[in-house]
Amino acid sequence: MTITISVTNPTPEVLQHLLAIASAPGATVSTVPDDRWTPERARAYYDRLPPRARSILHAAVRKGGRVPVEDVRIDGKSLRGTTGPFRQVLREGARTDPPLWPAALPVPVRSVRVGATVIGFDVIGGNDQEDPLMVFGRILGLHVEGFRADGTPVFSPSE
């Protein structure tokens, strides 16, 4: 049996009652919203990406959320189809039994286009600790040195 309850901005008392109801034997309870990346979800997702997609995600995170296409192009080859695995792995993980993550998770990487030309890749997020950019930064062993004027983080390898 699966019961899904969506609650927006619950008071601590309401949340406590809901958790008490959900604590029935055999119940699996998650208080993390379905559309939020967690370190566990990010690690499972990252590990399932093909090497090319993994390198794009890593480069984009390392550069604070955006990487120009020139930084991830290999030997001048086309980047056609490089963003497909980000959606495909997300869909596949949500369809496994049991699901690896909720279907509501947003795709963490998107291509930046000018017309039909891909000019770079963005990782969704900013400086909130729950944003995909920050979560993926943590699981990749990076730490925040500071923030740029636009609020995006500056990452460096953890020591």
Domain ranges of the chain: 37-142
Q: Report pLDDT digits (tens) over 38-47.
A: 899 999 999 9
- Assess whether the previous peptide bond of 98 is cis (omega < 30° from 0): yes
High-pLDDT (> 90) share of the chain, %:
26
Q: What is the pTM of this model?
A: 0.76
Place of tokens 């400086």: 127
Lowest mean pLDDT among 21-30, 39-48, 83-92: 21-30
For residues 34 and 96, the model is more confident at 96
Reported as a pLDDT band with limits 50, 70 and 90, residue 93 is: very high
